[in-house]
Chains A and B, each alone.
Chain A
Amino acid sequence: MAVYFFRRFLLIIPTFLGITIMVFVITRFVPGGPIERMIAQAQQMQSMPGGTGPMSAQDGRNQPLSEEQIEELKKYYGFDKPVMASYGLWLGKVLSGDLGVSTRYYDPVWEMIRERIPISLYFGFISMVMVYGVCIPLGIAKAVKHKTHFDNLSSIIVFIGYAIPGWVVGVLLLVLFASHWEVFPLGGMISDNFDSLGLFGKIKDLVRHTVLPVIAYVAGSFTVMTFLMKNTLMDNLSSDYVRTAMAKGLPFRKAVFRHALRNSLIPIATNFGHNISIILTGSFLIEKVFNINGMGLLGYESIVERDYPVVMGILVISSILLLIGNILSDICVAVVDPRVRFE
């Protein structure tokens, strides 16, 4: 087992290299990179009113930067070397803990990400607890009460949550609970007067800001996890070993909890790592709706703005999280299923 996990950890390395090389190469060939942005910016400056007048787009004179300047820029961003050479340079820096500098804000990438991590962790953790804390019991109840009113009604609600994208749920929640009834704040993490509040007030303020986004985050995941739980439990309830347990004289309820449940948690555990990484890296649309500065929003903006050092930095962090999450899943599965021993 230990050997297995050691191998899994070693496997992180090639996987990580694969992911980063792919994205790095893509950033090279997607139009609209940082150099082109600079040129465009400079062009804009030139064509501003009070500048050199109407542009004559046909001739080369509208090129605001000289060849040397462009070469200079390319050198600065490492675009002058072959792709793999500059990837090597980038990787070397990453390994020494340097994720580079944002081409948009000129801030160190690591610091930009570090600011967002606690926010993403906060929402991610709460969402995970909510998803597992609600879906497992709900799935159990639905399986045991299969085809009753309770089961049907909860299916409808859960499916509505699935059909509507999380950010739409967010907008709806804001319109209803923040704007119409004003029960919850309109967004952000904390109120403006946060610092002046007492400890209890601070907690209350944070909770009030958390409720709506968390609902929006988990609305979609609820369905998958609830039905995964319900369906695997139903399968297990009709399995031979549950029949054996009942034949021994165990009441149905105890047969569910002592026998069927643990077997049904196996697929849930398999999903765990996947959920970790999705939730931690957040959803930029929900973050945008609720005005939360998490990793999702940062990643989205940096892609749109071609802020490649930030894109790569987020990629590094999130792929490591994903890989570790997968190993965590494996550990979870091994804990609940004795047949899995990873030799």
Chain B
Amino acid sequence: METDVILSVEGLVASFDTEAGRIRAVDDVGFRVRKGKTLGIVGESGCGKSVTALSIMRLLPKPSGVIEEGAVRLEDMDLLTLAREEMYHVRGKRIAMIFQEPMTALNPVHKIGKQMDEVFRIHFPEMANGQIREQTLSLFDRVGIADPGRRIHEYPHQISGGMRQRVMIAMALAGKPDVLIADEPTTALDVTIQAQILDLIRNLQDETGMAVIFITHDLGVIAQVCDDVVVMYAGKIAEKAGVQDLFHHPAHPYTKGLLLSIPRLDGPRKKKLNVISGMVPSLYELPQGCRFENRCPYAMAVCKSAYPKATRMNQGHTVCCYLYPRGH
């Protein structure tokens, strides 16, 4: 493994057992997260971003969610074969996660100070109570929570959504993780708060040198925070590239469509935004071939045959599309 890779996901297949049968929410997904860098996962809602993240943490809803295949390697340790007890030392300590809904992610009946202290109690059992409180207060201060001494005595319903997300971030930082997974951390927030939270995550990353997996459906956010990008579509990877490459030389028709659908300030006003027409295939009736085929302007006969294998465009840029013959 390359030395600068902290976390790698290989051939991940995650499924759910539903009333109507087993569905594959994530199919053969793989990527590498570099130390201290930010990997973005982008794709429309339902494409399997959260399932990928939860699989890394081994927190898929039980008993319906199962990881069928694949490996998740944190440095040299395969998390998927780890004993359950050992996983407790990974979660919150080596890999931390923050979620989309700050409104429901905190326990409504515990004070936020207590919920924060808990991380220290789990991972640093030798710390004294006073020390823990001190750390909690200083972390709250660091994530921009004003008047932390008063805040620790408040319940989640007493503070705003942005504030709660800051609490979540503080809790995630408490274990000094190597990797932070942020699953749409700003989607539920106002635009101004969004920008603040993005700034905060970026600054903290600079300070701590942690790697970040940043999940979003918003390419604008990707452009602001990511080094590498994975584009997902209907449970599959469509394209992987460095952020510059992706924005300047998108290869996959889906990526191109997404980029065209971002409003631009420098374009003509009132220009109609590009819309990718058609529907994402249902996970219950997935096509044999490329999953984007029914919406793709470049669809060819071969696209219906099987999901295209990855073609390497250049260093760190691969795409799964028949437009780009392999060995290119």
Chain A nearest CB from B321 CB (Å) reads 35
B61 touches A241 (CB 8 A): no
Chain A contact residues, CB within 8 Å of chain B: 147, 238-241, 243-251, 258-259, 262-263, 336-339
Chain B contact residues, CB within 8 Å of chain A: 57, 59, 61, 63, 85, 88-93, 96-97, 99, 101, 104-111, 118-119, 122-123, 155, 157, 168, 171, 175
Q: List residues of chain B with CB within 8 A of the CB of A258.
A: 118
Cα distance, A338 to B88, chains bound together (Å): 29
Q: List residues of chain A with CB within 8 A of the CB of B111.
A: 338
Name the residue of chain B whose CB is nearest to the CB of A266: B109
B155 touches A240 (CB 8 A): no
Chain B nearest CB from A149 CB (Å) reads 15
- A241 with B104, Cβ < 8 A, contacts A249-B91, A250-B118 known: yes
Chain B nearest CB from A120 CB (Å) reads 34
Cα distance, A9 to B202, chains bound together (Å): 55
Cα distance, A243 to B59, chains bound together (Å): 7
Contact of A263 among B89, B107, B171 (CB under 8 A): B107
Q: List residues of chain B with CB within 8 A of the CB of A239.
A: 104
Q: List residues of chain B with CB within 8 A of the CB of A259.
A: 107, 110
B59 touches A241 (CB 8 A): no
Cα distance, A243 to B60, chains bound together (Å): 9
- A250 with B104, Cβ < 8 A, contacts A238-B61, A240-B99, A338-B109 known: no
Chain B nearest CB from A128 CB (Å) reads 24
* Pair count A-B, CB < 8 A: 75
Contact of A248 among B92, B109, B110 (CB under 8 A): B92
A244 touches B99 (CB 8 A): yes
Cα distance, A71 to B119, chains bound together (Å): 81
Q: List residues of chain A with CB within 8 A of the CB of B97.
A: 247
13 new A-B contacts, CB < 8 A, other than A249-B92, A250-B118, are: A147-B63, A240-B104, A240-B105, A244-B171, A246-B59, A246-B91, A247-B97, A248-B175, A249-B90, A250-B122, A262-B110, A263-B109, A338-B155
A249 touches B122 (CB 8 A): yes
Cα distance, A251 to B83, chains bound together (Å): 12
Cα distance, A240 to B99, chains bound together (Å): 9
Name the residue of chain B whose CB is nearest to the CB of A263: B109
Q: List residues of chain B with CB within 8 A of the CB of A247.
A: 57, 59, 91-92, 96-97
Q: List residues of chain A with CB within 8 A of the CB of B93.
A: 249
Name the residue of chain A whose CB is nearest to the CB of B107: A241
8 pairs from A and B in contact (CB 8 Å cutoff): A243-B99, A243-B105, A246-B59, A248-B91, A249-B89, A249-B175, A259-B110, A339-B155
Contact of A339 among B106, B157, B168 (CB under 8 A): B157
Q: List residues of chain B with CB within 8 A of the CB of A338.
A: 108-109, 111, 155, 157
Contact of B109 among A238, A244, A250, A262 (CB under 8 A): A262
Cα distance, A243 to B171, chains bound together (Å): 13
Q: List residues of chain A with CB within 8 A of the CB of B96.
A: 247-248
**Lowest 6 CB-CB distances: which A-B pairs, in order?**
A249-B92, A240-B104, A248-B92, A241-B107, A249-B91, A247-B97
Cα distance, A141 to B110, chains bound together (Å): 23
Q: List residues of chain A with CB within 8 A of the CB of B175.
A: 248-249
Cα distance, A262 to B105, chains bound together (Å): 16
B91 touches A339 (CB 8 A): no
Q: List residues of chain A with CB within 8 A of the CB of B108.
A: 241, 263, 337-339
Cα distance, A147 to B64, chains bound together (Å): 12
- A249 with B119, Cβ < 8 A, contacts A243-B59, A244-B99 known: yes
Cα distance, A338 to B107, chains bound together (Å): 11
- A245 with B107, Cβ < 8 A, contacts A250-B88, A250-B122 known: yes
Q: List residues of chain B with CB within 8 A of the CB of A243.
A: 59, 99, 105
Cα distance, A262 to B114, chains bound together (Å): 15
A244 touches B122 (CB 8 A): no
Max chain B CB contacts within 10 Å: which of A238, A250, A336? A250
Cα distance, A249 to B123, chains bound together (Å): 8
Name the residue of chain A whose CB is nearest to the CB of B95: A247
Q: List residues of chain B with CB within 8 A of the CB of A250.
A: 88, 92, 118, 122
Q: List residues of chain B with CB within 8 A of the CB of A337.
A: 108-109
Chain A nearest CB from B9 CB (Å) reads 17
A248 touches B171 (CB 8 A): yes
Cα distance, A193 to B63, chains bound together (Å): 58
Chain B nearest CB from A79 CB (Å) reads 56
Cα distance, A238 to B65, chains bound together (Å): 12
Q: List residues of chain B with CB within 8 A of the CB of A251.
A: 85, 88
